[in-house]
Amino acid sequence: MRNRISSIMDMKKAGMAIACVALIITLGAEVAFAESASVVLNGSELTFDQPAIVENRTLVPLRAIFDELGAGIEWDQSTHIVTAVRGNITITIQIGSNILTKNGEQITLDVPPQIIDGRAMVPLRAIAESFGTEVGWDPTTRTVTINEKY
């Protein structure tokens, strides 16, 4: 009887250990996910209410970055496709797809646009570079710099 009770206790301890490891992994992922970065466009700091770092890529709210870059956008809610136009450049992206189309040319993204807390989030560098800007990253200050090419 004691062996059976001891065996049940060992199983409970193992189950608790597994649950603790899963919780630590989950919380660790959320902490990494919640990291943020500063964004500076042509010398002016931008404020995003919900930036995120996902797989070492800065994601920002879709509408906010397109507005800051002066691009007009169309959002198709049924397909989750956004089309943005700035000057002679048209880009199309779909939430969940790692393909960005720029003037008909397909570009593979490291991280796809995604819905986070109910907001459409897009990879900042890919969007900004698609519109012809130069994008830099300072890991010390965690700052993304975006500059227009004149």
Q: Please tell me the distance from the alpha carbon of residue 105 to that of residue 99, in angstroms, as a whole number.
A: 10
Over residues 63-84, the pLDDT tens digits come to 999 999 999 999 999 999 999 9
Tell me yes or no: is domain 36-148 CATH 3.30.457.10.
yes
Over residues 2-45, the pLDDT tens digits come to 555 555 555 554 444 344 334 334 334 333 344 567 899 999 99
Question: CB within 8 A of 62, min separation 6: which ones?
Answer: 73, 75, 82, 113, 119, 120, 121, 122
Other Cβ atoms closer than 10 A to 18: 10
**Model-wide pTM > 0.75:** no
The angle subtended at Cα 16 by Cα 15 and Cα 19, nearest 5°, is 90
* Strand runs labelled E in the chain: 38-41, 44-46, 52-54, 57-61, 72-76, 81-86, 89-94, 99-102, 105-108, 114-116, 119-123, 133-138, 143-148
* Res. 56: pLDDT tops 70: yes
Q: Please tell me the distance from the alpha carbon of residue 129 to that of residue 147, in angstroms, as a whole number.
A: 10
Domain ranges of the chain: 1-34, 36-148
